[in-house]
Amino acid sequence: MKPFNAWLYAGLLSATAATELLTPDKVEAGIQKDRLENVLWNLNKIGNDNGGNRAFGTSGYKASVDFVLERVVKRFGKHLDTYVQPFEHLFHQVKRIQVKGPDGTQVYVVSLQYNPATPLPGGITGELVHVPYEADRGSGCFEDQWQNIDAKGKVALLKRGGCTFADMTLLAKAAGAKAVIFYNQTPGKNYSTATLQAKNVGKLIPSGLVSLEDGEAWAGRVAAGEKLSVTLVVDAVSEVRETWNIISETKAGDKNNIVMLGAHLDSVLPGPGVNDDGSGTAALLEIIEQLIRYHGIKNTVRVAWWGAEESGLIGSLYYGSNLTEAEADRVKFYFNYDMIGSPHPEFVVYANDERHKFGGAPLFDYLQAHGKPAKYGYVTTFTNGRKSKEANTWGKKANSVLRLTMSPFSTWEFHRLEFSPVPRPQLTRATTRLATPSTTGERLSVPLVVDAVSEVRETWNIISETKAGDKNNIVMLGAHLDSVLPGPGVNDDGSGTAALLEIIEQLIRYHGIKNTVRVAWWGAEESGLIGSLYYGSNLTEAEADRVKFYFNYDMIGSPHPEFVVYANDERHKFGGAPLFDYLQAHGKPAKYGKFGSSSDYVAFLNLGIPSSGIFTGASPTTDPCYHQACDTVNNINWEALTVNTKAAARVAAQFALSLEGVPPRNKTTINPRSRRGVRRAFDDWADTVDVVEKTHNCGPGDNLY
């Protein structure tokens, strides 16, 4: 990993010398709501000026990277060492999707991530063939469900649920179908899209997802003997693109004791990602700014803005998978701040166990002390049919949550829980011989068109660290800088980006930093944590050893926030507890929440680095604009974002001064995604990219996102 070339930002501003001694009180007091608003306003504008989003692989994400670099390099460069970590990932965007129903009228349809394009301009027209839905087996999820279905040259009509969209599409293709129309399992048009998974690029047929009402109406008419046809048009681009993580750490501080904070910088395609995770981005900027205002940092503070998080935590996983054992050992704790400004927030502190509560408990206590109903909670990965008490965190009962296990290269659909009934474990369904269902009804046809592009594009991480502080003791903070394609990502994760900029600005105002503070803005987070994973996978063991703790700040300004502090165990509560305590002390109902696989802390958990962070919720209740175009500056709970950034800044300052008692890096982790495994996955994915066909459409039509 090489330092970012500062000459690209000529004429660096000379920062005010840090003359005051660092204290948590000073850093907390320095966090200002108006500066967080300024960062989120800028991220929102970046999204609006770049097609409505800040997603990995887009000009909006590149502008987000430049924005963070302007802060951490140009403004804070005297006190921070900053790295931009480039990596590549498969970018996919559906520019237009259209379905004309059997009556010739257009119906509401959404696309799926990695959806292949149809021939243009006419698309695909075909007779509809319906595969009946079985309550415990889904629609078209098993080969025997296709045995009596004549799908050759037709368009399969399948109901969502029971198995993955990719599995259904592969079976439909094997049965001879030339396209698939999925219909949703719940009423209305307010339903989420999903992923076909990057590993399936080049293997699938085009598809679209229509409403339950349209799908059931067509299925009923087919069953009654009508012959129906539809047309599907998909205009899409799929290509490998470069993206980036930003890693920034205090020059002051012990480089063998690193406290790390992270937030993802990208948004989803539908919106600018102001809460998800602009809130975390803003918090990290504010935190690092406050930390570097003072001298006396004893432990390095490292802040990361992850890229391609919304594509499957790609940036943070990449970062983590590239850390050596020695590098991972130096990271003593990680705090993740993703969606900390939700409009109707909960205050959930990540903490799966007592190790995580080492950092989570301070967050929890802070929120509780400040009148917020903080609670410890899980951000978890569910498999089909899993009985899980973690469902209570999301207001659901056991066996009522469907959450497919996320691959390193899955898309942002896996970042959100789908509250769908789970009839039985998928493994049982897949391995048990079941009776062939009877089928009735005549066959109908419909037209379908998909236009997509998949190509490799360059992107970046930004890594910035204080010049002051022990380089063997690094405290790291991270947020992702990209948004999803649909919007500018002001909360997700402009909030984390803004926080990191504010935090680092406050830190470098003062002298006395004893531990280096490193701040990272991750690239391509929305594409699967790509930036942070790339960063982690490139750290040597010695480098990882120097990172003593990582804080992740992703979505910390959700409009209806929870105040969740990450902490799976006591190791993580080393950093989580100060966050928890701060939120509690300031009237926020902080709670501990367990880590899962949905944000950039994953790369650091893989390395055994104690981690924590704050998250304010991504559910329809806490953030109804999550991963949508409406994730703008109007989607932020400013009070939540401000108090979360203050909590993050205070704890960053504490860790910059002392890492006494920090748990050692755990080199034996239960997480199966080892550095070697992640690297292997990157290689496998790269092989897939080699066969990607680039398909572009220059014709008329509005973009879907």
Q: Is the CB of residue 534 less than 8 Å from the CB of residue 87?
A: yes
Do 200 and 307 lie in one domain? The reply is no
Q: Is the CB of residue 156 less than 8 Å from the CB of residue 181?
A: yes
- Which residue is listed with tokens 């970012």? 4
**What's the whole-model pTM score?**
0.59
pLDDT band at 354 (very low <50, low <70, confident <90, very high): confident
What range defines the domain where residue 542 resides? 462-671
In this structure, what are the phi and psi dihedrals at residue 457, rounded to the nearest 5 degrees? Answer: -130, 145
Do 626 and 494 lie in one domain? The reply is yes
Could you tell me how far CA 143 lies from the centroid of its own chain? Answer: 34
Mean pLDDT for the stretch of residues 242-271: 94
Choose the most confident range, by mean pLDDT, from 290-304, 418-432, 446-460: 290-304
* E runs forming strands in 108-149: 109-110, 124-130
Do 540 and 665 lie in one domain? The reply is yes
Query: How many Å apart are CA 391 and CA 397, to the nearest integer?
Result: 6
Residue with more model confidence, 566 or 39: 39
H-type alpha helices, 132-277: 165-174, 212-223
Catalytic residue among 28, 127, 309, 346: 309
* % of the chain beyond a pLDDT of 90: 58
Mean pLDDT for the stretch of residues 355-377: 88
Q: Which of 372-376, 573-577, 579-583 has the lowest mean pLDDT?
A: 372-376
* 232 beta partners: 99, 124
CATH of the domain at 205: 3.50.30.30
Do 227 and 277 lie in one domain? The reply is no
Mean pLDDT for the stretch of residues 393-412: 30
Domain boundary among 174, 209, 239: 239
Q: Which of 180-189, 391-400, 558-567 has the lowest mean pLDDT?
A: 391-400
**How does the average pLDDT of the chain come out, rounded?**
82
* Model pLDDT, residue 356: 83
**Which is nearest to 639 in space by CA: 477, 495, 492?**
495
Do 44 and 125 lie in one domain? The reply is no
Do 589 and 530 lie in one domain? The reply is yes
Mean pLDDT for the stretch of residues 325-331: 88
CATH of the domain at 478: 3.40.630.10
* Model pLDDT, residue 595: 82
- Which residue is listed with tokens 């300031």? 586
Q: Is the CB of residue 651 less than 8 Å from the CB of residue 335?
A: yes
Q: Which of 206-210, 222-226, 437-441 has the lowest mean pLDDT?
A: 437-441
- Which residue is listed with tokens 């660092």? 22
- Residue 510 placed within a domain: yes
Residue with more model confidence, 166 or 398: 166
Q: pLDDT tens, 208-219?
A: 999 999 999 999
pLDDT band at 378 (very low <50, low <70, confident <90, very high): low
pLDDT band at 197 (very low <50, low <70, confident <90, very high): confident
pLDDT band at 450 (very low <50, low <70, confident <90, very high): low
* Model pLDDT, residue 681: 58
Active site residue 309: yes
Query: How many Å apart are CA 63 and CA 56, to the nearest integer?
Result: 11
**Which is nearest to 558 in space by CA: 315, 307, 275?**
275
DSSP code of 435? P
Is the pLDDT at 395 greater than 50? The verdict is: no
> In the structure encoding, which two tokens stand for residue 402, read together?
């469907």
Query: How many Å apart are CA 653 and CA 268, to the nearest integer?
Result: 31
Do 531 and 494 lie in one domain? The reply is yes
* Model pLDDT, residue 676: 61
Q: How many CB atoms lie within 10 A of CB 203?
A: 16
* 110 beta partners: 209
pLDDT band at 680 (very low <50, low <70, confident <90, very high): low
Query: How many Å apart are CA 626 and CA 705, to the nearest integer?
Result: 14
- Which residue is listed with tokens 């008419």? 221
pLDDT band at 682 (very low <50, low <70, confident <90, very high): low
Query: How many Å apart are CA 502 and CA 496, to the nearest integer?
Result: 10
* Model pLDDT, residue 190: 82
Q: How many CB atoms lie within 10 A of CB 325?
A: 18
- Which residue is listed with tokens 């690239």? 523
Total number of domains constituting the chain: 3
* % of the chain beyond a pLDDT of 70: 81
Do 512 and 627 lie in one domain? The reply is yes
* Model pLDDT, residue 527: 87
pLDDT band at 17 (very low <50, low <70, confident <90, very high): low
Do 75 and 96 lie in one domain? The reply is no
* Model pLDDT, residue 607: 86
> In the structure encoding, which two tokens stand for residue 328, read together?
């991972």
* Model pLDDT, residue 697: 27
